[in-house]
Every structure is written in structure tokens, then in C-alpha cells.
Amino acid sequence: MDAVSAPDGKVTPRVGRPRANPRDDDGLDAREQILDAAAALFAEHGYAGTSTRAIAERVGIRQASLYYHVAGKDDLLLELLERSVRPSLDFVADLLRLGAGERRYAALHALAVIDVGTLLATPHNIGTLYLTHEVQQPRFEPFHRHRAELRSAYVELAGSEFAGSCCLQLVEMVIGLRRDREPAPAESAGLREEIATACLRVVGLAPGRVAAAAREGARLVEQLAGEGSRTPPA
């Protein structure tokens, strides 16, 4: 089958060339299907090794139809990269406000928990492309700016440039862990907690205060989850 785009944005099969990867029951709209296919192919073959034709074939639509939903490969990769930082960044202002004074350690723990959750939820571990030549180009500047904002939050909560950078590196270890072996869903909560607690140790928090700060950090995440429509990544 081939596919056409319906008015509601769904991809609807029609008679024609067989679809490369049927998605009739997953409920994703056309753009989400394209993003998911692009993430999978970027992870498998790299950005340069992936063509828009290959992305369209993975979804099961014509290449021309792809451009109805996206501007091109840059548009797709930028959105995928943004999804690896924006969900965490959405909570930064509140965490900096709630983490004033001694509560900054709890806020640091909460930020790390949320950020690890964001990276675990990023489709097809797109973070593996962070250091590629293509991603360093100016056209991906919005992603680099937002990642720098996230790093600044770690620096502020950790209390120094070095400690904040170390915390961000600890969190982004998840990218390498996912590349080696995708954590099972049951492991995710433990992994978030381990990395967030390691951040508290990196900043030099006394051993006796680590557990208390971690408990307070968990309460902050619960508080943020209960406010408004935003939900920290699980």
C-alpha cells in the first residue's frame, strides 16, 4: 500500500506500493510517524547516510508527501534534538525558584531526575548525534542555545561551573548506556535516582545530607507534576 494524508493529519493507506513499515494502529499522526522514522534511520545510518526518500519509504508514503509535513531533514533533526532538552528546560525556571538557598540541592536532584527521564524518552536515543559534525552546524543553533540554558541551570544549582558541568555529563551518561543496552522500563526509575544522587555527591554534599536532599527532590518532582498541565518525563 501507499498512503495519503487525511484532513485530520492521519496517514491513510491506499492501494499502491506496499508500505515499508505499517503503522495503522499506533495512533500517531503523519508528522509524528515521520519523526519516528527519521529518528530510527538517523540512529541506524547517521544523518548524512539518511535520505528523505528513505524516511518516506520507512513511513510508507511518497517522498513528495513528506514535504507536505516537514521542510526537510534539518527540520526533522532539529525537532528531535529539541525534544532531548525542551521537556527538561520547561521545568528549569520553577526549579530555580523553588531551589533557593539550601533547597538548591533538592532542586538539583529533581532536575537530574527530570532530565534523565527526558533522555530516556527521546526517540531512538537521538542524543547519540550530539557530537556529530552535522549537529555542530549553525542551522542547529536553537538546540545548542537551549542545551546551554540547561547547563547554566546545573551550574547555578550545583554552585560552580565545574560541578554543574560534571552533573550534566553524569546525566548524559544515559545516552551511552542506551547505546550499549536499552534499559528495561523497570530499570528507569532506579537509573534516574542513581544518577541524581551521584550529582549530589559530585557537588560535595555531606553523606548524611544526601538522602534528605534526594527525598526533598522527589517531593519537588511530585509538586511540579501536580501543577498545571506539564508532566515531568517518567
| DSSP symbols for 55-100 | HHHHHTS-HHHHHHH-S-HHHHHHHHHHTTTHHHHTTHHHHHHHT-
Contact between 227 and 119 under an 8 Å Cβ cutoff? The reply is no
Residues 6+ apart with CB under 8 A from 43: 124, 125, 126, 128, 129
- Would you state the cell numbers that stand for residue 11, as one nine-digit string? 496517514
Report how far residue 149's alpha carbon sits from residue 126's, in angstroms, rounded to the nearest whole number: 19
The pTM (predicted TM-score) of the whole model is: 0.84
Amino acid at 90: D
- Would you state the cell numbers that stand for residue 118, as one nine-digit string? 527526558
Among candidate residues 100, 99, 85, 79, the one with its CA nearest the CA of residue 233: 85
Per-residue pLDDT of the chain (234 residues; tens, 9 = 90+): 334 444 444 443 332 233 334 444 455 688 999 999 999 999 999 999 999 999 999 999 999 999 999 999 999 999 999 999 999 999 999 999 988 888 999 999 999 999 999 999 998 999 999 999 999 999 999 999 999 999 999 999 999 999 999 999 999 999 999 999 999 888 999 999 999 999 999 999 999 899 999 999 999 999 888 876 567 776
Give the number of residues written for the chain: 234
